[in-house]
Amino acid sequence: MPAPVIEFRHLSKSYWEADQEHVVLNDVNGEVHEGEFIVLFGKSGCGKSTLLNLISGIDAPSRGDILVEGQSLTGMSEDERTLFRRRHIGFVFQSFNLIPTLTVRDNLLLPLELTGQLDNGGRTRLADMLEELGMAHQMDYYPDRLSTGEQQRIAIARALIHIPSIILADEPTGNLDHDTGQDVLNLLDQLVRRAGRTMIMVTHSREVIGLADRLMTIRDCRLEESNRE
């Protein structure tokens, strides 16, 4: 079996608020294999987003180790983690995914610029993606002219455009109505799953859970794994 794409051992995270320690994650272990679709499940505020942040290197754990694509994040400086994340991770948030002062096009170009892929390959990908989304005519719009559903779809495109190996999605359909959310999920399915990329999604939607390969539940700051039910 090939090495897992993501591996975390004895991961703990707590933060301090007014002299009180809040433990978010306590000795969490797990691994994700390439191409897997993991759903992170759990009550609100119990650390799902935190785990995503740790995996992506946005945050550093209090204890434990994270390995992504064989590289240990815990040994890296913040700058190194940032650079790593830039290249390897694509993020989709629940909201505020797009820079409001950049056009759709520029929003999509931003990751390309960051990763030095502003060459023809990148631009072609951009054009193709927009075509595929059916939003090529909105290339020069600013995000505020798009509906929330459209914004999320662009957000997904932005998360993918630099061909990251891992997609992290934090409740991507949380702000959307059922039908739009469905569209978004279909898109994710199409662009991520079918392309064989690894995805970890935090969600409450039972339907999505049904689509996942595995289910990770965080309860009482600990991780429980189960196969999908």
Cα–Cα distances (Å) from 212 to 68, 93, 153, 198, in that order, read 20, 19, 20, 11
How far apart are CB 29 and another protein at their closest, in Å? Answer: 21
Stretch that binds another protein, among 35-43, 92-100, 202-210, 218-226 (CB under 8 A): 92-100
- Of 147 and 226, the one with the shorter C-beta distance to another protein is 147
Q: Are 118 and 109 in contact (CB under 8 A)?
A: yes
Q: How far apart are CA 58 and CA 50, in angstroms?
A: 9
| CA end-to-end span of the chain | 24
How far apart are CB 197 and another protein at their closest, in Å? Answer: 17
Residue 138 interacting with another protein (CB under 8 A): no
Residue in 82, 180, 182, 217 binding another protein, rule: CB under 8 A:
82
How far apart are CB 211 and another protein at their closest, in Å? Answer: 24
Residue 113 interacting with another protein (CB under 8 A): yes
Q: What are phi and psi of 208, to 5 degrees?
A: -65, -40
Residue 89 interacting with another protein (CB under 8 A): yes
Q: Are 178 and 186 in contact (CB under 8 A)?
A: no
How far apart are CB 4 and another protein at their closest, in Å? Answer: 23
Cα–Cα distances (Å) from 66 to 63, 81, 96, 173, in that order, read 10, 11, 27, 27
Token duo for residue 180: 């739009």
Residue 83 interacting with another protein (CB under 8 A): yes
Stretch that binds another protein, among 81-89, 186-194, 198-206, 218-226 (CB under 8 A): 81-89
Stretch that binds another protein, among 2-10, 82-90, 188-196, 210-218 (CB under 8 A): 82-90
CA dihedral of residues 84, 199, 40, 96 (deg, nearest 10): 70
Contacting positions for another protein (CB under 8 A): 49-50, 53, 56, 58-59, 78-79, 82-83, 85-87, 89, 91, 93-97, 99-102, 106, 109-111, 113-115, 118, 142, 144
